[in-house]
A = this chain, B = another copy of it.
Amino acid sequence: MLALNAASSPTRFSPLPPRAQPVPVRRAVASPLDAVATPQTAKAGQVLFQEGDPAAALFEVTKGVVRLCRMMPDGRRSITGFAFPGAILGLPIGEVFAYTAEAITGCELRRATRSAVGRLLESNADFARRMLAVMSDELSAAQDQMLLLGRKHAAERLASFLLWVARKNGRASCEASQLDLPMSRTDVADYLGLTTETVSREMTKLRQAGVVTLPTPQRIKILQPELLQQIAEEGEATALHSSRVTTARWPS
């Protein structure tokens, strides 16, 4: 599994300049969490906590990517989210964790005990406000995802997902950019409510239409972000008909 950031991969320490922090989206200032949190690392595939476990701690991802899963008794899996650096994991409230968290890449985390977080919430109004804001954002993202799962076609789902990852990687969506997909096709499928085969097929269509390039399955370059945007919200058909496509046509 490819690591998200070059620096987080112990196997290849390339001479690449450690480019400016990939995504400091949320934590503009030092978090009060820093004082009470202990650093922790997780290997790829490692389970941080499981759905139903007593919610003993709260995590902040500082490096790597984590998947949040729910399972059905018969094994069907839904990934309810991917946690990129800056994301906060155990909800600050529930008695038990609402989902399972597994590291996709090697990860670095900050871990704070439930009681410490409780004390922070009591004493630090600003921290409490920020937690509310974080949950508010998550709730909004969850609603986006419900719209995606309930009403979008496969092509729209994949396009939306790729644009979301591009945004998470801190790249302007209008700029042709290469980005990492640290998660497997199965993870993407379970996130988008599809099968790996369908994800793969739709990815191929995007490639053949000249919208993206795939140097490797885990690395993707968005050639036509505005077209991808159109596919995300209007469907493949209209998107490729209404725009002046220069190089390639949509297959079948």
| Nearest CB of chain B from residue A223's CB, rounded to whole Å | 24
Known contacts A151-B193, A193-B151; A92/B146 CB under 8 A: no
Chain A contacts to B: CB under 8 angstroms: 70, 72-74, 76-78, 80, 91-94, 98-99, 121-122, 125, 128-129, 131-133, 135-136, 138-140, 142-147, 149-152, 190, 192-193, 233-235
| Nearest CB of chain B from residue A79's CB, rounded to whole Å | 8
Asked if B91 and A136 make an inter-chain contact with CB atoms under 8 angstroms apart, the answer reads yes
| Nearest CB of chain B from residue A120's CB, rounded to whole Å | 12
Asked if A146 and B143 make an inter-chain contact with CB atoms under 8 angstroms apart, the answer reads no
Asked if A93 and B132 make an inter-chain contact with CB atoms under 8 angstroms apart, the answer reads yes
Q: When the two chains form the complex, which single residue of B73, B140, B151 contacts A72, counting CB atoms closer than 8 Å?
A: B151
Chain B residues within an 8 Å CB radius of A78: 143, 146-147, 150-151
Asked if B149 and A193 make an inter-chain contact with CB atoms under 8 angstroms apart, the answer reads yes
- A interface secondary structure, majority: helix
| Nearest CB of chain B from residue A231's CB, rounded to whole Å | 13
| Nearest CB of chain B from residue A237's CB, rounded to whole Å | 11
Chain B residues within an 8 Å CB radius of A193: 149-151
Copy number in the complex reads 2
Known contacts A91-B136, A136-B91, A139-B138; A147/B72 CB under 8 A: yes
Seed contacts A121-B132, A135-B139, A149-B193; 9 additional CB < 8 Å A-B pairs: A70-B143, A70-B147, A72-B151, A77-B151, A78-B146, A91-B136, A128-B128, A135-B135, A149-B149
Known contacts A93-B136, A135-B132; A147/B80 CB under 8 A: yes
| Nearest CB of chain B from residue A130's CB, rounded to whole Å | 10
Taking each of A91, A133, A147, A192, which has the highest tally of chain B beta carbons within 10 Å of its own beta carbon? A147
CA distance A132 to B150 in the complex (A): 27
CA distance A135 to B137 in the complex (A): 11
Chain B residues within an 8 Å CB radius of A136: 91-94, 135
